[in-house]
Structure 1
Amino acid sequence: MNGAFQYFMNNQDEVIALTLQHIQLVGLATVIAILIGVPIGIYLTTNDAVADVVLQIAAIIMTIPSIALFGLMIPVLSVINQGIGFLPALIALILYSQLPIIRNTYVAVQNVDPNMRDAAKGIGMSSWERIRMVEIPIALPVIMAGVRNAVVLSIGIGAIAAFIGAGGLGVLIDQGISRYNRDMIVVGAVGVSLLAIIADTLLGILQRVLTPKGMNINA
């Protein structure tokens, strides 16, 4: 570990730059995944048949090894000269993030107390107002739990994305393997782990803040 610490001290600028690349990739993927997954999860509560199909597809995507998924996208995105690099990594992380976000949104909204829905209807709320002002606020802590899972997953998979030129902390692992440099591998692996722990902790705090009083959400 002393060698890894020394490597970090001697290459702080590079490690910080790669960390910021990793955060940028995961952050953008998470935002897009939320914008896609949450509306889908809400819609699925209105159609159980479609919900089963969509959740099965999302689960199947999760079982595809990341390297294989990157490989499948290379010929497709090569049409626009984006076969390797940031874009295929971004698309892969968005796809992998869908299952926890869609599933948690679907379950959370579906399990909103029917009496709350009836009360909202009783005071004349439209369907959109009921979703926006009643169902989503109640479901938000569980949705956030799905986002936490998606972020931690994306941080780990994001390290593998370095093998297709997407940058990030995985570059240290990739180069460390190529150069037989254990210190680079350790710094990259520890960096990814710390990033995942920090992100999960911060999102956990946000989840507790967003939890309505009287609800006990442990995730």
Structure 2
Amino acid sequence: MTFLDELGRFLGSENVREQLGRNLLEHCYLALLPLVLGVVLAIGAGWLGRGRRRMRGALFVVGNVLYTIPSLALFLVIPGIIGTKITSSVNVVLALTIYTTALLVRPVLDALDNVPAHVVASATALGYRPARRFLAVELPLAVPVLAAGVRVASVSNISLVSVGALIGTGGLGVLFTDGFQRTYFAPIVVGIVLTVLLALVVDVLLVALRRVLTPWDRTAPTRAEVTAA
């Protein structure tokens, strides 16, 4: 039997296709919920570190330390700390939220640093209080730089969710463990393809969201670009 025959037989099962759909949805949940939570926490950390040198340095150190912890070790340690079952999806969500926050702290601070000082000064002169100025002026102007970091974090999360299959959680990682255990390459290849496609789709959606949030950052196409199109 060739590999294509094996792949066709694997995908030809209705039960397998239904399971693939469930695994894909669970993978999205386990990857994207921590992304949203991590972005919110990283923005909060950026608010704390903005203009505070010592706080900024401490955030960098903590973020670097947390991000160097192996993901599998963190998946195993969290249940002992919060009392969940080792196979609970909460462990993966919490671990990836920690990783996302640690990964985005520096991009958030860099993005806020790129906000023009004269714009911040103008908002202050108009009577904006610090919290309102941050949410209404600084944060929106930081989106173009911050978006690049969020795109990296999304790919990282989609990849790391697969590791959770080693402790019994779902997602597309189940296809890898199943294939390795049975020396069956079809689910492994399908898992890789679906993971890559999911990462590409999420990346495209994040680019579209960035364009929606920053309409002022769009540039009109030049005559050369129009001609080339």
Q: What TM-score results when the alignment is normalised by the length of structure 1?
A: 0.90
Residue aligning to 2:69: 64
Residue aligning to 1:127: 130
Answering whether residue 53 of structure 2 is matched by residue 41 of structure 1, we say no
Residue aligning to 1:107: 110
Q: Is the 8 A contact 2:67 2:103 kept in 1?
A: no
Residue aligning to 2:165: 162
- Cα 1:128–1:81, aligned 2, differ >3 Å: closer, same or farther? closer
- Distance in 2 (CA, whole Å) between partners of 1:210 and 1:155 is 23
User: How far is 1:165 from its partner?
Assistant: 1.7
Answering whether residue 205 of structure 2 is matched by residue 185 of structure 1, we say no
Amino acid at match of 2:177: D
- Distance in 1 (CA, whole Å) between partners of 2:213 and 2:103 is 18
Task: Write the mapping of 1:137-152 to structure 2, written as runs, cut at 5 A.
Answer: 137-152=140-155
- Give the number of the structure whose alpha-carbon radius of gyration is greater: 2
Question: RMSD value over aligned CA atoms?
Answer: 1.8
Q: Which moved more, 1:60-69 or 1:20-29?
A: 60-69
- Cα 1:181–1:43, aligned 2, differ >3 Å: closer, same or farther? same
Identity of aligned residues (%): 30
Unpaired segments ≥5 residues, structure 2: 220-229
Residue aligning to 1:32: 37
Q: Is the 8 A contact 2:211 2:218 kept in 1?
A: no
- Distance in 1 (CA, whole Å) between partners of 2:197 and 2:166 is 20
Residue aligning to 2:227: none
- Distance in 2 (CA, whole Å) between partners of 1:104 and 1:9 is 44
Q: Is the 8 A contact 1:173 1:188 kept in 2?
A: yes
Amino acid at match of 2:191: G
- For 2:87, what is the secondary structure of its paired residue? coil
Among 179, 195, 198, the residue aligned to 1:195? 198
Q: Is the 8 A contact 1:76 1:83 kept in 2?
A: no
- Cα 1:5–1:97, aligned 2, differ >3 Å: closer, same or farther? farther
Runs of 4+ in 1 over 6 A off after TM superposition: none
- Cα 1:62–1:149, aligned 2, differ >3 Å: closer, same or farther? same
| Equivalences, count | 214
User: How far is 1:35 from its partner?
Assistant: 2.1
Unpaired segments ≥5 residues, structure 1: none
